[in-house]
Structure 1
Amino acid sequence: MHKDFRWKELHQKGDVSLQQKRTSLVPDALLDLEEQAEEMASSLAPGAEVDVRAKALQAVGAPPFKRFLRERRVPDLVRSKCHTLQLNIGLYCNQACNHCHVESSPLRKEMMSKEVVERCLLLLKNSPTVKVLDITGGAPELNRGFRRLVEGAAQLRETGERPDLRIIDRCNLTVLLEPGQESLPAFLVDTGVDIIASLPSYEPDQTDRQRGRKVFERSIQGLRILNQHGYGSGKGGRRLDLVFNPPGPFLPPRQQQLEMKYKTELETSYGVKFDGLLTIANMPIKRYFDYLRKKGALEGYMDLLVRNFNEDTVPDLMCTNTVNVGWDGKLYDCDFNQQLELGLGGGLSVFDVESLDDPKLQRAGILTAAHCYGCTAAQGSS
C-alpha cells in the first residue's frame, strides 16, 4: 500500500518543496554495497586489472589499442591544446552504482584539498585555451572544494578573463535531496553552471537495479527541482543533459531515437524536461570490470567493443584535448586512466606545471590500454 501511494505521488506533476523534511540516501547506498559484494568478483589492484583486461583482449585475438590503430591505418593519438579541464574532486558519494568506474560510495573519504583546488583555479586562469571546466566525482557537490571551484571559475568568467567558459557539474540528481543541500539549485543557477546528470533509464526498476534503491524516485524529484529553477527549458542557458548507459554488457542504441523516447516518457509520466541525451558504453574497469569478471563475461564484452570499433570516433577522443586531475592533484589523460593509475607524463601533478599548455604536457604521450576500446565502440563514449 505504501509503495503504491509513493508511485502515485511520484506521477503527480506538482512543485517540489525545497523545505520538506529530508533524509539521506546514504543508508540505502550502504545496503546496495553489501548486496553488490555477492554479485562481483573481489577487486584487483589497478596494475593487475590492466593485465587481466589485456589477457582478455589477447584471448579474443585483438591487439593492444595503439597497435590496432596502426593496423587499421588510423592516425595515432596526438595531444592538442587543452580544451577541457576535468576535475575529479573526490570519491565520496551518496550512491553506490554497480557500474561505477571510480568505485564511489559513502565509504570513500578521498577529497580534493584546498591547496589543490586553488592550484586548479590558477591553472585555469593561466590556460586561455580551456573552454570547459568539467567537475565530477563521486558526487562532486558533496565534496568540500566544490563551491569554491565553481565560484572561482564563475568569477573568471564574470571579470572577462574567461567570458566563454562553460562550467559543468556531473550531477547524480539524488544529491539535490540530501540534507544540507537545500541551497544547491540556487547556487548552480547563480554561478551559471550547466548540468550533466545520470539517469540510465526512464523505467524505475531498471534505474534502481543499476544505481541503487530509491534512486529513480529521488532522481525524478531532483529533475523537478531543476526544472523549477529553469533547467531543461531548451531556451539557452541552464542546460540540463541526461546520460544513458546500458543495463548490461551490450552497447547503447542510437542516441537520437533514444532521446526522443526519453523525452516523451519523462514528460508524459512525470512532467519533467531536459535538453539532450548522451549515450555511453559501460567502461570495463573497476566496479563494472569486477561484475564482468564474476559473470564470466569479460572476454565477450571486450570482443564486442573491438568488433564495433568506429574510427570516426578517434579524432574527438577526450584524451586528445582534455587534462584530467585527480582529487590528489595528479594529472591524467582521462578519468578512466586516472582510476587505473596511468599517470600523465610519468606522474605529473598540478604543482609541476604552470599552465595546461605547459611543454611538459605537450611532450607527454597519450597512454592507452585495453579499456580504450570502450571509447571507440559504435557511436563512441568520449
Structure 2
Amino acid sequence: MHATLPLLAATDFPALNRRRLTTLQVNLGYRCNQSCVHCHVNAGPNRKEMMDAENLALIPKVLTARGITTLDLTGGAPEMHEGFRDLVRQARALGVHVIDRCNLTILFEPGQDDLAEFLAASQVEVVASLPCYSAANVDKQRGNGVFEKSILALQKLNALGYGADGSDLQLSLVYNPQGPELPPPQKSLEAAYKRELLDHFGIVFNRLLTITNMPIQRFGSMLISKGQFNDYMRLLKHNYAAGNLEGVMCRELVSVDWQGYLYDCDFNQQLGLTLPGLGERPHLRALLDADLSGKPIRVADHCYGCTAGQGSSCGGALENARQVIAVQAVHA
C-alpha cells in the first residue's frame, strides 16, 4: 500500500506553450523484471498493463502524419512487450530515430538472448539505467545482483560497438539520486562515471544523463512515509531556475500511456493530468490530424523538478539544451 500523495495540480508554476512536436514517447506497459525504489510508474514483474495491438498499430501512422523524428520507447521494460521489435522495425523503416529506455538486466531475461544484437542491427539508441558505478548503491536502489548483471550487459553492448569512438551506436547511462536531493553537476559526474567504468570494467559510453527524482508514485510515497515530502518540494522550488523553461522536454514531446491516451510528459501521465486542448481525454488517434504547435502545456508543482538547479529531462540536464537553443536563436 502506497502513502497518499498530496495533489500537485494546483500550482504557481509558470505557464508554458508547445513548439513543434518532434518526439513521441510511448509507454508500452508497466511490466518489468525489476522494482526500483525511484520508479515513478510503479513498474514491476506483477503489473499486467500492456498496450494492445490496435494502439500499437497507430504509432507508425502518427509518426508519419506529424513528421515526428524520434520514437522514445519506455515502460516498465519496453522490450517485454511482444510487439516491441516489430514497432522498432516499422519506425526505423520510416527513418525515425528510436530510443530504447533499457534497464540492462532485461538482456538476460528468458527470450531476450538476442536483444542486444537486435538493437544494434536496428541502430537503436540505448538509454540505460545505472544509478551509480558502485555495486552497493545500485543494488540498494534496484535489487541484489542488479549491478553485476548491468555491468555484463554494458560489456555485451560494448562488444557490439555501442559507445565506441566513431560508432553510430549511441549508449547513454542514466543517473538518479539515491534520495531526496538534486543530482550533482552532470559533466563532472559523467567524467567520474567514464573513469570508474573504464578503469574497473573496461566499459565505454557516450553520455551520462542526470535526472531528478519526481515526488510522485513510488518515490513520492517513500517521501511521505519518511516525512520528507514537504522538505523535498521546498528544495525543488528553492532551486527553481527560470532559464530551464526553454529546454523542458514537454515543449516538443508528447507522452502516450499504454492505453493510447496523451499527456505532456511521462510524469503528468502518472498523475492522470491529460494533454489539454484536445478534449477531456485525448487519444493517440487525435494526433493523426491535430497540430500541437502553440498549444498550452498542463503544469503542476512537480514541474519544479524539471527546472530545479541544472534542470532535468529525459535527455538529462538542461544546460546543454539551453546552449543549443541560444545557438539556434543567433543563427535564426
Aligned pair partner of 1:365 in 272, 275, 296: 296
Partner residue of 2:2? 42
Deviations 1:244-277, CA, capped at 9 Å, x for gaps: 1110111111111111110111111111111110
Q: Using a 3 Å threshold, how does the CA distance of structure 1 residues 277 and 113 change in structure 2: closer, same or farther?
A: same
Partner residue of 1:256? 187
Aligned pair partner of 2:11 in 64, 74, 92: 64
Deviations 1:185-207, CA, capped at 9 Å, x for gaps: 11111111001101000000101
What is the CA–CA distance in structure 1 between the aligned matches of 2:3 and 2:79, rounded to whole Å?
27
Matches within 5 A, 1:240-255: 240-255=171-186
Q: Which stretches of structure 1, 4 residues or more, deviate above 2 A after TM superposition?
A: 41-44, 361-365
SS at match of 1:344: coil
1:290 and 2:221 aligned = yes
Deviations 1:6-61, CA, capped at 9 Å, x for gaps: xxxxxxxxxxxxxxxxxxxxxxxxxxxxxxxxxxx7244xxxx352x47xxxxxxx
Partner residue of 2:85? 147
What is the CA–CA distance in structure 2 between the aligned matches of 1:373 and 1:324, rounded to whole Å?
18
Partner residue of 2:65? 126
What is the CA–CA distance in structure 2 between the aligned matches of 1:236 and 1:190, rounded to whole Å?
13
Matches within 5 A, 1:215-364: 215-345=146-276, 346-355=280-289, 358-359=290-291, 361-362=292-293, 364=295
Q: Which has the higher helix share?
A: 1
Matches within 5 A, 1:18-33: none
Aligned-pair CA distance for 1:311: 1.1
Q: What is the TM-score normalised by the length of structure 2?
A: 0.90
Structure possessing the higher radius of gyration over alpha carbons: 1
Deviations 1:51-88, CA, capped at 9 Å, x for gaps: 2x47xxxxxxxx8243xx3xxxxxx3111110111001
Q: Is the 8 A contact 1:234 1:274 kept in 2?
A: no
Whichever residue aligns with residue 86 of structure 1, its letter is Q
Q: Is the 8 A contact 1:333 1:366 kept in 2?
A: yes
* CA-atom RMSD in angstroms: 1.5
Aligned-pair CA distance for 1:114: 1.1
Whichever residue aligns with residue 106 of structure 1, its letter is P
Q: Is the 8 A contact 1:233 1:274 kept in 2?
A: yes
Q: Is the 8 A contact 1:88 1:137 kept in 2?
A: yes
Deviations 1:154-173, CA, capped at 9 Å, x for gaps: 1112xxxxxxx321000000
Q: Is the 8 A contact 1:65 1:373 kept in 2?
A: no
Q: Which runs of 5+ in 1 are unaligned?
A: 1-40, 55-62, 70-75, 158-164
